[in-house]
Amino acid sequence: MGEALVGVVMGSDSDWPVMEAAAKALAEFGVACEVDVVSAHRMPQDMVDYGRSAAERGLRVVIAGAGGAAHLPGMLAAVTPLPVIGVPVPLAYLDGMDSLLSIVQMPAGVPVATVSVGGARNAGLLAVRILASGTDDKASELRAAMVRFQEQLRTEAMAKGERLRARYGNGVGTPAARAGFGA
């Protein structure tokens, strides 16, 4: 896959079961990533060093996942010029709402793109789209791959609708029609 273009970092290895989905999404598109634990609270200087050196190491996007206070995405955004995508990691308490609010409520001038609670797959897909927005050959390849991906999503959704219509029909008296399907 080549040199890492995306950093996938998290506050603890316990976040990996959620964050792995970002790495897998990137791999589906042939985008190399580096994966690491960079805790904003337990290793703040290392976190700052990671963020400050990310661009010069060749990264173009950082995906940062954290639970609870979830300061990692915002702190990385404060020290790197790269786009940062925050993934709120759900914990046992508050179902990730605390992390979501922490990541999404950033002060002016320190933007963090935020996906849904536990939405690491979408973070990976968003990173692919960011990389695809360039003008180089890799960006063109990623745009074409994203178009194919979107076509596949449409095909899958159409098949689901077809199965539902086949099961419940399109007639006025069917459960599907009463629910607004096939009307």
- Distance in angstroms (rounded) separating the CA atoms of residues 38 and 119: 19
- Distance in angstroms (rounded) separating the CA atoms of residues 126 and 87: 12
Tens place of pLDDT per residue across the chain (183 aa) = 679 999 999 999 999 999 999 999 999 999 999 999 999 999 999 999 999 999 999 999 999 999 999 999 999 999 999 999 999 999 988 999 999 999 999 999 999 999 999 999 999 999 999 999 999 999 999 999 999 999 999 999 999 988 988 887 765 555 555 566 655
- Distance in angstroms (rounded) separating the CA atoms of residues 173 and 25: 42
Q: What is the separation, in whole angstroms, between the first and last Cα of the chain? A: 48
Burial 4-23 (b: 16+ CB within 10 A, else e): bbbbbbbbbeebbebbbbbb
pLDDT of residue 171: 55
Angle (nearest 5°) at CA 23 between 146 and 2 = 80
pTM exceeding the 0.75 threshold for the entire prediction: yes
pLDDT of residue 166: 86
pLDDT of residue 165: 85
Strands (E), 89-161: 113-114
Establish how many alpha carbons lie within 13 A of residue 33's alpha carbon, considering only the half-sphere containing its beta carbon. Answer: 29
Q: Which CATH class is domain 6-133?
A: alpha beta
